[in-house]
Chain A
């Protein structure tokens, strides 16, 4: 395959609970073996977002042509969140924002996130998070959630982590109908037909390859796309071209020419 491969969903840092070390060499080795050109990495392990973002930059500094930094923001410290995003994005050059509402105990459409979204909206950037949560109120739908968010923050591009690894019709319909909403593929499961299902329903322009490295192995996660029963061009888009377009990595003005 000639087009670049971008892994949209990766984490930096150690996660000893699962035996995952902060091992940049291993990271690069797995990326090489998987055929991944660049990995978008965030660090969501720390309550101190700055610490995690600095750790991400250690990886980026080590291999700037292989890693794309992604900023973490947490509403646990609202007084720090936007300031840290300013530093991470405009100071360190991070490409989009990762939030993790599971840690916050409130879903991603909780108003506590709105100051973060307002800032992202001003930058016309992307943010990635889960689409559903164990603490969602009864009757919550993904389409309802992201329709409301898209209307309130029209310049934000929303990436629903993990959804393209599932057979979730609500998620696929949301990505199909809302122009600024995307799906991402990683999952510890390799659900039969998931890639085909989401390409058919949401469209090949709306699905992004992600691995969840360094928890899950990119060599396995990429195989869900590589071996899927979809056209070759769709694979190329999912594996990298969609991410390049979404993150404007082909725009030298954004400093991210690929």
Chain B
């Protein structure tokens, strides 16, 4: 008999989800779209906190979506807001003021959805500001919607741009197995790049990531509510990690990046 399946699984390490969305989508009804529902699912999975962004901020209007996110979160300390920014149209000064006023600790940019090259001649000013403030940047490897096919994030652009900002922490997120060809070498080449693993389900893929970049740069995320919260957490607990590394990947790294 092999090691048993654990039907009573609860995470051993405090879990902090690095990739969740909160709020309604315009293109379909998701099964959980409010804070109460998200918190209930987090409780069921044993997740303590989640970094959340608003789908509306990505799909339509960052300012409106970000404001709605703060409203949806209210005073719930288990939900940590992440603002979506569009550096081509958003005003940096105004956005910076909103970020600082709300105490936002992480930003997400979606070049594939917002139709811009992730090049310094587009994003330089924003990355300088984020770098100076110590605010990490999330970059989804693609953005899936039933009305949009923007393709994959351009890894060469990420490489060339991120290397110019060595003090900025960038988190590559939602990396699917079809992107497993370029994600590991990109991580290897950029010491300030981390990876969120909600979609990284290729066989032994996370173990290989850990070999390449070490446990400090791998972050648990769920991609809720498109995906369930617990499965990737269960997977991480089956990798044979020592307690310190498991703690780091499940939430400690995110806590550190957000300076919490």
Chain A contact residues, CB within 8 Å of chain B: 1, 5, 18-20, 26, 30-37, 188-194, 213-224, 226-229, 232, 235, 239
List 7 contacting pairs A-B, 8 Å CB cutoff, sorted by A: A32-B3, A192-B224, A214-B203, A216-B177, A217-B202, A221-B201, A227-B9
**Contact between B32 and A192, CB atoms less than 8 A apart:** yes
Given known pairs A192-B226, A217-B203, A221-B201, the reply for A19 and B9 (CB within 8 Å) is no
Main SS at interface, chain B: loop
Shortest C-beta distance, B238 to chain A (Å), equals 4
Give the nearest-CB partner of A228 in chain B: B228
Kindly list 13 other residue pairs between chains A and B, CB separation below 8 angstroms, not including A192-B225, A217-B203, A226-B6: A1-B6, A1-B7, A32-B3, A33-B3, A33-B239, A34-B5, A192-B31, A217-B205, A221-B201, A223-B9, A226-B7, A227-B9, A235-B7
**Contact between B232 and A220, CB atoms less than 8 A apart:** yes
Interface size bracket, B side: 35 or more
**Contact between A188 and B177, CB atoms less than 8 A apart:** yes
- Selected from A32, A224, A232, the residue in CB contact (under 8 A) with B231 is A224
**Contact between A229 and B203, CB atoms less than 8 A apart:** no
**Contact between B232 and A30, CB atoms less than 8 A apart:** no
Shortest C-beta distance, A232 to chain B (Å), equals 6
**Contact partners of A239 in chain B: CB under 8 A:** 5
Mark each residue of chain B from 177 to 193: 1 if its CB lies under 8 Å from any CB of chain A, else 0.
Answer: 11011000000000000
Q: Name the residue among B201, B224, B225, B239 with the largest chain A CB count within 10 angstroms.
A: B201
Once bound together, how far apart are the Cα atoms of A248 and B29, in whole Å?
A: 41
**Contact partners of A31 in chain B: CB under 8 A:** 2
Once bound together, how far apart are the Cα atoms of A5 and B4, in whole Å?
A: 9
Give the nearest-CB partner of A186 in chain B: B201
- Selected from B204, B223, B230, B239, the residue in CB contact (under 8 A) with A227 is B230
**Contact partners of A229 in chain B: CB under 8 A:** 44
Q: Name the residue among A30, A218, A224, A227 with the largest chain B CB count within 10 angstroms.
A: A227
Check B73 for interface membership: any CB of A closer than 8 A. no
- Selected from A18, A188, A232, the residue in CB contact (under 8 A) with B199 is A188
